[in-house]
Amino acid sequence: MIYKPHSGLEDFSRVLLIEDDTSYARLVELMLNESELFRCEVVNCTTLEAGMATLETDDNFAAVLLDLSLPDSTGFSTLESLLTRFPNQNIIVLTGLDDEAIGVSAVKAGAQDFLIKRTGILDGHLLVKTLRFSKERKQIISRLEEAQRAARLGHWECRPDRHFFFASDEVYRIFDLDPSLTTYSCDDLLLPECPLNPLLILQWKITPPQERSEELRVRLSSDEILTVLLTCKAHQDVDGGVYYRGIVQDITQQKQAEELRKARDLAEHTAKVREKVIASVSHEMRTPMNAIMGFSSLLLQTPLQPEQTRYVTSILQSSELLLDIINDILQVSALQHGQLSLKSDVFELRPLLQQLHSVMHFRAMEKSLSLEISCHDDVPDKLVGDPQRLSQVLFNLVGNALKFTDKGGVKVTVTLEAHSERQVVLHFAVKDSGIGIPKEELEAIFEAFTRITDKDRFYEGIGLGLSIARMLVEEYGGRLWAESEVGAGSVFHVHWPLLMAAATPAEQSPLVDDSLYAIEPARILLVEDHQLNQLVVKHLLEKKWPQLTVEVANHGDEAIQMMDQRDYALILMDLQMPVRDGYETTTYIRQHLTAPKSRVPILAMTAHIQSTVQENCRNVGINDFIMKPFEQDQLFRIIHHYLSSPYL
């Protein structure tokens, strides 16, 4: 069932009766008191002046009943005086029996209605009806007013041939004017200095029945710049006269928000393009880096003069540094695009910490600093998580701590922050006695490319380490933050959630611990279009295992032809190649060759770390990956693994 909304008409109202005949006033009061449809209080004033004074202090009347013959004013001018001062009042004119014509003119002039007074008799029914209508009209106008205020929107009407102009209060407020103090006539509006003059801009551009909208910037007397949306429609009445109705809306805030949004979108777009360029340039740099590092390593294994050894060693060290930067940039880009695959392996924490110590204590020794790592007894050793990423974060924090400490040392403590039956949260605290970080920079250092510059210190790094560390920690559901005091040192805290490993011995990773790397003589096919990379891989492998033969195919088609001729124990496959790329070649081998050739292990060599690339590789039948540029040890281990578990 649908209920009609509450009309509000049964509420109590007030009526102002300006009437000098007190007995007549009493009669009106009595009639209204008897009415159930319009309950009200009647306030009676006997002169126009008293009536206007009452309205001045209190305008909360549903209607004003106005007698036109008063001691201080008679005739039509009584109405005019009242309307000029109170244009928004609902005025109901009371006229004598013979003055019906005056009543009609009063309505034309702006009165809401007129009622004819008969001596002794007043049509009570009509009075109540008129007053109810007044009240309803007042309510509608006040709601319209509220809506206009909320929307910062006002309406106006103009009829130039009759010099008529009206604007709602909100129009005045939009132009920073007080409607109770200022109103403009049609003639005022024509003056260029009139604040509402801009409303006419559209009026001159249209003829009936056209409508037009325009945005306009207006400078207020306060110098504030306003953006308004003007809409104007031209009408023609039956007499052929033209009038205009318009709407003006203050859209300054929407405009500002829109401009902010545009600026933000542009900034985001620029940042994305910049990231993309940096990532793709970095990516392109990995292949030549492979050659530089590979050949430097090979060169170091040849007889060299001491001076030459120094030169080559420093080429190798600089290349490693450059490679670290390239890898950081690529990792930031992968993390920002959610392209890093999360791993979950069983690992032992204490050996991981030992490894951290054994690598980092050399750096500490170089600067005569101490390095202590302690792990609380209640911290479980066998855990499930991503040991590589955990190490990466700890190496970064300890590396920074040593970098920014000149005396004293660095202490790493691992404690149990929280635990449940299956899960633990470990707390790693890396404390140094170094230069410290100003309080206001404690958050900024986690932003990409942020470094605190100090003219007295020179150090390597491009300010990516901590932002990568924080993103990694957060990827795994943890938290990374810092506390510090300038001159006294810093503590970097990490909360890292991990699962506890089941009591059964962890499955050994197939690639761990292979010190001997002994393999049987075998033939490997290297499918790679880049000549320098061909040489590096071939030389490294044949030097490591002279019993290995590495044959080279320049692209996929050549590889397939070579596989026709002979069998290979393993294929190293570049992914991007001319003629037939690594994915197509692998698909062909898996689908069109016959076993055992179709089952040969294929290892992709890729510079991409994105999980999507890895997934695509697995989908076509690639067994594993070698990241370019590769660490020699990683290359040897993975090749050893596949050659020592023959597929034939």
Tell which residue, 426, 427, 394, 391, has the closest CA to residue 410.
394
Does position 437 interact with ligand ADP (CB under 6 A)? The reply is yes
Q: Indicate the DSSP class of residue 4.
A: P
Using the minimum distance from each CB to ligand ADP, give the nearer residue, 265 or 372: 372
Contacts of 480 (CB under 8 A, 6+ apart): 393, 446, 466, 469, 470, 473, 474, 492, 493, 494, 495
Phi and psi at residue 236, to the nearest 5°: -130, 130
Does position 25 interact with ligand ADP (CB under 6 A)? The reply is no
Length of the chain: 648
How many other C-beta atoms lie within 10 A of the C-beta of residue 170? 24
> Shortest gap between Cβ of 367 and ligand ADP (angstroms)?
13
Rounded alpha-carbon distances, angstroms, from residue 512 to 346, 382, 520: 12, 16, 20
Using the minimum distance from each CB to ligand ADP, give the nearer residue, 469 or 570: 469
Does position 451 interact with ligand ADP (CB under 6 A)? The reply is yes
Using the minimum distance from each CB to ligand ADP, give the nearer residue, 328 or 558: 328
Rounded Cα gap, residues 522 and 645, in angstroms: 12
- Residue at 225: amino acid letter: I
Using the minimum distance from each CB to ligand ADP, give the nearer residue, 156 or 404: 404
* CB neighbour class for 219 (10 Å; exposed up to 12, middle 13-18, buried from 19): exposed
Question: 40: number of CA atoms within 13 Å, CB side?
Answer: 28
SS3 258: helix
Rule CB under 6 A: choose which of 19, 67, 113, 432 binds ligand ADP: 432
> Shortest gap between Cβ of 489 and ligand ADP (angstroms)?
7
Tokens linked to 105: 């003119």
Using the minimum distance from each CB to ligand ADP, give the nearer residue, 145 or 441: 441
Using the minimum distance from each CB to ligand ADP, give the nearer residue, 345 or 441: 441
**Stretch of 178-186, 379-387, 447-455, 590-598 lying at the interface with ligand ADP (CB under 6 A):** 447-455
Does position 463 interact with ligand ADP (CB under 6 A)? The reply is yes
Q: Identify the helix (H) or strand (E) that includes residue 382.
A: strand 382-385
> Shortest gap between Cβ of 564 and ligand ADP (angstroms)?
50
**Stretch of 266-274, 355-363, 427-435, 575-583 lying at the interface with ligand ADP (CB under 6 A):** 427-435
Using the minimum distance from each CB to ligand ADP, give the nearer residue, 401 or 575: 401
Rounded Cα gap, residues 48 and 85, in angstroms: 12
Tokens linked to 39: 């309950």
SS3 504: coil
**Segment 247 to 306, residues that bind ligand ADP, using CB under 6 A:** none
Does position 491 interact with ligand ADP (CB under 6 A)? The reply is no
Q: Which region holds residue 460: left if phi is over 0, alpha if psi is between -120 and 50, else beta?
A: beta
- Cα dihedral angle (282, 287, 293, 297), rounded to 10 degrees? 160
**Stretch of 19-27, 364-372, 431-439, 607-615 lying at the interface with ligand ADP (CB under 6 A):** 431-439
User: Is the peptide bond preceding residue 71 cis, with omega within 30 degrees of 0?
Assistant: no
**Stretch of 43-51, 227-235, 445-453, 499-507 lying at the interface with ligand ADP (CB under 6 A):** 445-453
Please give the span between the terminal C-alpha atoms of the chain, in angstroms, as a whole number: 81
- Mask 359-398, x = binds ligand ADP (CB under 6 A)? ----------------------------------------
Using the minimum distance from each CB to ligand ADP, give the nearer residue, 395 or 517: 395
> Shortest gap between Cβ of 402 and ligand ADP (angstroms)?
8
Does position 466 interact with ligand ADP (CB under 6 A)? The reply is yes
> Shortest gap between Cβ of 640 and ligand ADP (angstroms)?
34
Using the minimum distance from each CB to ligand ADP, give the nearer residue, 399 or 621: 399
> Shortest gap between Cβ of 356 and ligand ADP (angstroms)?
16
* CB neighbour class for 344 (10 Å; exposed up to 12, middle 13-18, buried from 19): exposed
Q: Identify the helix (H) or strand (E) that includes residue 43.
A: strand 40-45
- Mask 404-423, x = binds ligand ADP (CB under 6 A)? x-------------------
> Shortest gap between Cβ of 478 and ligand ADP (angstroms)?
17
- Strands (E) across 164-301 are located at 164-167, 211-219, 225-236, 242-250
**Stretch of 283-291, 349-357, 448-456, 618-626 lying at the interface with ligand ADP (CB under 6 A):** 448-456
How many residues interact with ligand ADP (rule CB under 6 A)? 19
Rounded Cα gap, residues 611 and 617, in angstroms: 10
Q: Indicate the DSSP class of residue 597.
A: G
Using the minimum distance from each CB to ligand ADP, give the nearer residue, 134 or 490: 490
Using the minimum distance from each CB to ligand ADP, give the nearer residue, 318 or 591: 318
Rounded Cα gap, residues 474 and 190, in angstroms: 65
Tokens linked to 582: 């690594």
Rounded alpha-carbon distances, angstroms, from residue 466 to 56, 134, 479: 69, 72, 12
Rule CB under 6 A: choose which of 199, 248, 340, 435 binds ligand ADP: 435
Does position 493 interact with ligand ADP (CB under 6 A)? The reply is no
Rule CB under 6 A: choose which of 208, 380, 461, 497 binds ligand ADP: 461
Does position 480 interact with ligand ADP (CB under 6 A)? The reply is no
> Shortest gap between Cβ of 318 and ligand ADP (angstroms)?
16
Rounded Cα gap, residues 424 and 414, in angstroms: 12
Rounded Cα gap, residues 134 and 274, in angstroms: 66
> Shortest gap between Cβ of 624 and ligand ADP (angstroms)?
30
Contact 171, 155 (CB under 8 A): yes
Does position 490 interact with ligand ADP (CB under 6 A)? The reply is yes
Nearest residue relative to ligand ADP (C-beta):
461
Alpha helix locations (H) across 152-183?
169-174
Tokens linked to 425: 């949260």
> Shortest gap between Cβ of 466 and ligand ADP (angstroms)?
3
> Shortest gap between Cβ of 473 and ligand ADP (angstroms)?
13
Tell which residue, 45, 2, 53, 52, has the closest CA to residue 25.
45
Rule CB under 6 A: choose which of 385, 409, 434, 582 binds ligand ADP: 434
Does position 450 interact with ligand ADP (CB under 6 A)? The reply is yes
Using the minimum distance from each CB to ligand ADP, give the nearer residue, 102 or 444: 444
Does position 46 interact with ligand ADP (CB under 6 A)? The reply is no
**Stretch of 76-84, 105-113, 286-294, 399-407 lying at the interface with ligand ADP (CB under 6 A):** 399-407
**Stretch of 169-177, 180-188, 446-454, 535-543 lying at the interface with ligand ADP (CB under 6 A):** 446-454
- Cα dihedral angle (364, 365, 371, 373), rounded to 10 degrees? 100
Does position 465 interact with ligand ADP (CB under 6 A)? The reply is yes
Report the Cα 89 to chain-centroid distance in Å: 50
> Shortest gap between Cβ of 437 and ligand ADP (angstroms)?
5
Report the interface residues with ligand ADP, using CB under 6 A.
400-401, 404, 432, 434-435, 437, 445, 450-452, 461-467, 490
